[in-house]
Structure 1
Amino acid sequence: MGCDGGTIPKRHELVKGPKKVEKVDKDAELVAQWNYCTLSQEILRRPIVACELGRLYNKDAVIEFLLDRSAEKALGKAASHIKSMKSVTELKLSDNPAWEGDRGNTKGDKHDDLQRARFICPVVGLEMNGRHRFCFLRGCGCVFSERALKEIKAEVCHTCGATFQEEDIVVLNGTKEDVEVLRKRMDERRLRAKQEKKTKKPKAAEALSKVDGSEDLPGPSRVKSGKAEDAGLEPREKKGAPAPRGAAAAASGTSSGKAGKAPGGPLKRSIADSEESETYKSLFTTHSSAKRSKEESAHWVTHTSYCF
């Protein structure tokens, strides 16, 4: 039995079976993870940063994402855990001397080696192409292969000498299990930071209250100095101390029995009654020379050469 045109169909063309699961090319997946930014899908270029889950980004793309968190961006979910620039670490990568880049295949007649990588491990020399597990340190940002950390066990970074702990080691582009472990560490670290902030706030308030209270109270130096001065004086010196002038004048006034103003300040005297010279007295308005009649006073008329 044939169809129109004399064609004979086969069984797989007439009977539809279950769809085959599409398999992702491993080489293409590794190239996408290790050579392209997770946010912008552009080629990784320095400065390169990594988040706390071990994903690689361009620093420019992270800054743009933090400035514009619109819901239209489909790739924003991959970086939803990035709250600020403190959530990422700038990586210190070692260049691969055998990497030629785009210069090696300008005509397109040469095979591209996907296993060739731009960066290598500075200790062992393994290429960072996804075939080997790589990790970085959160404190300094240095990148090593996992083999280097296992073979050369140390609590100090191999390149910069900074100290680190096991919690500071983050696996780059790890498996689902690695991502779950890193996510738990990230949540614990953020909870710890929130608790530290809460404990610092009451301490700062207590310190401010203590400072305000110390300003209101008299200083210890003043209190001590006053006590020392009072204790240093003997009773004889206190009795023999000269009395103030006001008190002496009041006592003399009461003893003489003369009634007058309280001697609280200096007596006011007119300049006319003083014993100063007449030239000095003429400077003041109370002098007799200042009291002139209108006839004796001069007219305020100016004579210039233009009037003649």
Structure 2
Amino acid sequence: MGCDGGTIPRRDELVRTKQKPEQKDKDAEAVAKWKHCAITQEELRMPIVSCELGRLYNKEAVIEHLLSKDSSCEAAKHIRSMKDIVELKPTENPGYKRRNADKGDEYVDLRASRFICPVVGLEMNGKYRFCYLRQCGCVLSERALKEVKSEVCHKCATPFEEDDIVVLNGSDDDIAVLSARMELRRAKAKAEKKSKKRATEGVEDGKKKVKTENGSGEKNPSVVNGGASTSCATKSEVGAATKMILPEKARQGYSIAKDPNTSEAFKSLFTSHPKAINQPKAHWVTHNPLFY
């Protein structure tokens, strides 16, 4: 069939079939997600932080991203401030040995992880599902949370709710659920902030209204000497009486004690009042230590 000395072509050489899509290397994908920062792709180092979608970052990289205001990074586009991230508190793996450069003549375990679950001892390498708690930042395996039911953290005893559990490097379905929770949480916080601002503005308006009413109100006349009603010498009355004294009257020998329009309380403030004249000791203005 080959016409060249007995060579026979195979079927795959004659029939072209649809090529299968290239499959990802699971080990390489796990290493990229669990051991490298989602922004800079550098190796994770303490302090490690995570967002509300469960991605892992170096804290330094997040700070640089926020300062540069770079919106091109899809992995951190939803991070608006440092309040949107939580600093993680992973448990160190005592059996982990940091490897140097690969020599190529030995087996390298890419699944070896630096951190483990503090409850069941599973390695945090992508093979098992891990979560962190938003209240305290402790990292636990999903198996530990399911097998040991509790309303407090297994590591630090901090109380938490079901919505505080965030899956680290979850699937597309997990990210969709976490994204919906994030939007709901942000909308709730925004509504609470608006209501608090309105309440504060209402209190301030009320205080201003009370001050205005107190400033414009006049004092009622008081009753003295067993029923004789006389008007008190308020600031407004004193000011009015003072304004009534014109320079012409002062030059003509005007006396407040003889003014019928001035109240008795206001007259008693001056030395021309009978009480001041009949006082047995000197007035406070003329008093001195040598007076007896």
Same fold (TM over 0.5): yes
Q: What letter matches 2:213 in structure 1?
A: L
Give, in whole Å, the separation in 1 of the partners of 2:41 and 2:198.
Answer: 46
Give, in whole Å, the separation in 1 of the partners of 2:168 and 2:69.
Answer: 25
Once the two structures are TM-superposed, the CA of residue 144 in structure 1 deviates from its matched residue by: 0.5
Corresponding residue of 2:75: 78
Once the two structures are TM-superposed, the CA of residue 199 in structure 1 deviates from its matched residue by: 1.1
**Counterpart among 103, 107, 114 of residue 111 in structure 1:** 107
**Where in structure 2 are there 5+ consecutive unaligned residues?**
231-250, 257-292
- The yes-or-no answer on 1:235 pairing with 2:262 is no
User: What is the RMSD computed on CA atoms of the aligned residues?
Assistant: 2.9
Corresponding residue of 2:248: none
Give, in whole Å, the separation in 1 of the partners of 2:16 and 2:145.
Answer: 53
Q: For residues 113-149 of structure 1, give each alpha carbon's deviation from its aligned partner in whole angstroms, at most 9, with x where no partner exists.
A: 1221000111221111111111000111111111111
In the alignment of these two chains, the number of paired residues is 235
- Relative distance call for 1:231 and 1:150 in structure 2 (3 A) is farther
Give, in whole Å, the separation in 2 of the partners of 1:34 and 1:232.
Answer: 87
Corresponding residue of 1:90: 87
Q: For residues 62-105 of structure 1, give each alpha carbon's deviation from its aligned partner in whole angstroms, at most 9, with x where no partner exists.
A: 1222222446x4xx1122211221111110011101111125x6
Give, in whole Å, the separation in 2 of the partners of 1:261 and 1:55.
Answer: 93
| Structure with the greater alpha carbon radius of gyration | 1
Corresponding residue of 2:16: 16
- Relative distance call for 1:156 and 1:264 in structure 2 (3 A) is same
Alignment of 1:252-263 (within 5 A): 261-263=252-254
Once the two structures are TM-superposed, the CA of residue 15 in structure 1 deviates from its matched residue by: 4.1
Provide the identity percentage.
Answer: 52
Q: What letter matches 2:97 in structure 1?
A: E
Give, in whole Å, the separation in 2 of the partners of 1:122 and 1:236.
Answer: 87
Give, in whole Å, the separation in 1 of the partners of 2:135 and 2:56.
Answer: 17
Once the two structures are TM-superposed, the CA of residue 106 in structure 1 deviates from its matched residue by: 6.6
Corresponding residue of 2:272: none
Corresponding residue of 1:100: 97
Once the two structures are TM-superposed, the CA of residue 165 in structure 1 deviates from its matched residue by: 0.2
Q: What letter matches 1:136 in structure 2?
A: Y
- The yes-or-no answer on 1:151 pairing with 2:159 is no
Q: What letter matches 2:80 in structure 1?
A: K
Give, in whole Å, the separation in 2 of the partners of 1:57 and 1:13.
Answer: 48
Alignment of 1:211-250 (within 5 A): 211-218=207-214, 230-231=222-223, 233-235=225-227
Does the 8 Å contact 1:3/1:9 carry over to 2? no
Give, in whole Å, the separation in 1 of the partners of 2:3 and 2:30.
Answer: 46
Secondary structure of residue in 1 paired with 2:135: coil
Q: What letter matches 1:43 in structure 2?
A: E
**Counterpart among 255, 259, 262 of residue 264 in structure 1:** 255
Corresponding residue of 1:40: 40
Corresponding residue of 1:173: 169
Quick check: 165-174 or 59-68, which moved more?
59-68
Q: What letter matches 1:31 in structure 2?
A: V
Corresponding residue of 2:58: 58
Secondary structure of residue in 2 paired with 1:170: strand
Give, in whole Å, the separation in 2 of the partners of 1:206 and 1:90.
Answer: 38
Corresponding residue of 2:26: 26
- The yes-or-no answer on 1:202 pairing with 2:198 is yes
Q: What letter matches 2:55 in structure 1?
A: R
Give, in whole Å, the separation in 2 of the partners of 1:145 and 1:113.
Answer: 21
- Relative distance call for 1:237 and 1:40 in structure 2 (3 A) is closer
Q: For residues 255-308 of structure 1, give each alpha carbon's deviation from its aligned partner in whole angstroms, at most 9, with x where no partner exists.
A: xxxxx923338xxxxxxxxxxxxxxxxxxxxxxxxxxxxxxxxxxxxxxxxxxx
Does the 8 Å contact 2:138/2:155 carry over to 1? yes
Q: What letter matches 1:24 in structure 2?
A: K
Corresponding residue of 2:285: none
Give, in whole Å, the separation in 1 of the partners of 2:19 and 2:153.
Answer: 51
Does the 8 Å contact 2:223/2:229 carry over to 1? no
- Relative distance call for 1:166 and 1:237 in structure 2 (3 A) is closer
Corresponding residue of 1:161: 157
Q: What letter matches 1:101 in structure 2?
A: R
TM-score by length of 2: 0.71
